[in-house]
Amino acid sequence: MTPTITAFENSPDRGRGFARDMPVRWAFEEVGQPYDVRLVSLKAMKEPAHLALQPFGQIPTYEENGLCLFETGAIVLHIAQTHEGLLPIDAAGRARAIGWMFAAVSTMEPPIVERESAGYLERGESWHDQRLPLMEERIRTRLLQLSARLGDAEWLDGGFSAGDLMMVTVLRRLEGSKLLDAFQNLADYIARGTARPAYRRAFAAQRAVFEAISGR
């Protein structure tokens, strides 16, 4: 059975690939698994039918043969565990790649998303400008540490894995900010990830949704 995922009917990012259906699409493309997409409106995401799939009223979700999953990392991990190509065969390498997936979502993503959310939720507050340097410093600390670990390697641990897929996805959220300027190896790492044919196909697919809705 072809898995079905959910994505925004009208993504607030206007097709720039920041919505979290993007890493799931990317994972499917990497392993060559066809998938269906059900588009949901912001309103429908908060209604019982969607809440039964995703208790927090968000996308993405994953459904296949009675299995319902939510949380991007869990969905990508499931795809990686049930197909070849996104996790090493050896148990130790596999465990390390999964560790990098967790590092992406639980160590790198929180300060990055905090700054991003503050940008659209708190911009009008008198204290926003004071808080911004603190938030950026937290991100810089993590970038410095990640950059030191990556060094001049191509990927985080040997060959490209689901760990890199999740990490590149998270780091991409900083595109357009100056935060990556001091970390050329991370900028190159993102460029390597987003140049992958599977990434390009996933990006084009989510972009097509925006173009269809905006008539472009």
Ligand X SMILES: N[C@@H](CCC(=O)N[C@@H](CS)C(=O)NCC(=O)O)C(=O)O
Residues engaged in binding ligand X (CB under 6 A): 19-20, 45, 57-59, 71-72
Alpha helices in 59-127 (DSSP H): 72-82, 91-102, 109-121
Q: How many residues does the chain have?
A: 216
Q: Which is nearer to ligand X, 41 or 214 (CB)?
A: 41
Position 40, amino acid: V
Angstrom CA distances, 52 to 60, 69, 79, 149, stand at 13, 11, 21, 40
Residues 190/166, Cβ–Cβ less than 8 Å:
no
Q: Which is nearer to ligand X, 61 or 161 (CB)?
A: 61
Min. distance of Cβ 206 from ligand X in angstroms?
11
Residues 115/135, Cβ–Cβ less than 8 Å:
yes
**What is the CA angle 21-23-27, rounded to 5?**
115
Q: Which is nearer to ligand X, 24 or 87 (CB)?
A: 24
Min. distance of Cβ 152 from ligand X in angstroms?
30
Min. distance of Cβ 132 from ligand X in angstroms?
21
Residues 47/86, Cβ–Cβ less than 8 Å:
no
- Nearest-CB residue to ligand X? 58
Min. distance of Cβ 197 from ligand X in angstroms?
24
Tokens of 160: 């490209």
Q: Which is nearer to ligand X, 57 or 85 (CB)?
A: 57
Q: Which is nearer to ligand X, 57 or 88 (CB)?
A: 57
Residues 94/159, Cβ–Cβ less than 8 Å:
no
Min. distance of Cβ 81 from ligand X in angstroms?
17
